[in-house]
Amino acid sequence: MPKFAANLTMLFTEMPFLDRFEAAHKNGFSAVEFLFPYAWPADEIKALLDTNKLELVLHNLPAGNWDAGERGIACHPDRVNEFKEGVNKAIAYATILGVKQLNCLAGKKLDHVSAEQTHTTLVNNLKFAAQELKHHGLKLLIEPINFFDIPGFYLNHTQHALDLIDAVGSDNLFVQYDIYHMQRMEGEIAATIEKHLSKIAHIQIADNPGRFEPGTGELNYAFMFKHLDQIGYQGSIGCEYKPKTTTEAGLGWLKALNQ
């Protein structure tokens, strides 16, 4: 069975962020992920990981002003210098935290920027980031996200992510495949993961509709977890869902798997 990582941005939100590490450990998780570590000193987060015997499997590159609605700046031609500074900052954190892969959020397409310039900017930024991360033994990931939850997000489909990987031409760029997002955009989850397994470095889960925990919606996660085992998926599975009530009350799906 793959390793499940609690997404601390979305789970245990009834408590302060730094308290969620202990909660993840107490509820049976051996790994965690989250959007961003940058609001806290890296050493403080590393101490929490070590104390609670947790592996950090993923965080994101800096993604602009999140509170103002930005969802990445990698496709914004006027933010290239800021993007490159963010890559260096992410590497510094990753080195201390021991994480092995970083996700790059493409961002929302700007209305005043042409499709060609948007594409070229993103490809060039990904080339830079993939090379810089490779020097430090880190994988770079890109994530297709549905345009219902984030209108205007530039990268929405698996094939678009694969086309970007081809355009970048690096062996250090992979797909972060979020089952919830791709269920909303295209379906064919099991077949798509199997077909492109060599390009998928990380998988995230939530059920649909609602983005709640597995077992609350239309997706057959019992089948999906067995399928991932059968096809030889070696990465972690990030639990990036919204608990329908509280995190602990919604962990029955995980406890059933561990029995």
pLDDT-above-70 percentage for the chain: 99
> Please, how many CA atoms are within 13 Å of residue 142, restricted to the half-sphere of its CB?
33
H/E element, 237 = strand 237-239
Token duo for residue 34: 């989250």
3-state secondary structure of 17: helix
* pTM more than 0.85: yes
Residue 259: the pLDDT is 58
Residue 72, pLDDT above cutoff 90: yes
Residue 24 tokens, joined: 């993840």
Q: How far apart are CA 18 and CA 47, in angstroms?
A: 11
Give the C-alpha separation, 66 to 13, whole Å: 17
CA-based angle 156:61:20, to the nearest 5?
100
Assign residue 232 a region: left if phi > 0, alpha if psi is -120 to 50, beta otherwise? Answer: left
DSSP 3-state assignment of 49?
helix
Residue 187 has pLDDT above 90, yes or no: yes
* Helices marked H in the chain: 20-26, 42-51, 80-97, 115-135, 158-168, 179-185, 189-195, 221-231, 252-258
Largest CA distance in the chain: 54
The answer to whether 107 and 71 are in contact (CB under 8 A) is yes
Residues taking part in catalysis = 143, 240
C-alpha span between 211 and 231 (Å, rounded): 25
> pLDDT tens digits for 104-140?
999 999 999 999 999 999 999 999 999 999 999 999 9
pLDDT score, position 143: 98
- Tell me: cis bond preceding 77? Omega within 30 of 0 counts: no
Structure tokens at 152: 């205007």
E-strand spans in 15-158?
Answer: 31-33, 55-60, 101-104, 139-142
Our measurement of the distance from residue 156's CA atom to the centroid of its chain's CA atoms, rounded to an integer in Å, reads 14
Q: If one looks up domain 4-258 in CATH, what number appears?
A: 3.20.20.150
Round to whole Å and give the CA distance between 143 and 111. 21
Spell out the residues 6+ positions from residue 92 whose beta carbon is closer than 8 angstroms to its own. Answer: 42
Domain boundaries, the chain: 4-258
- Confidence label for 87 from pLDDT (cuts 50, 70 and 90): very high
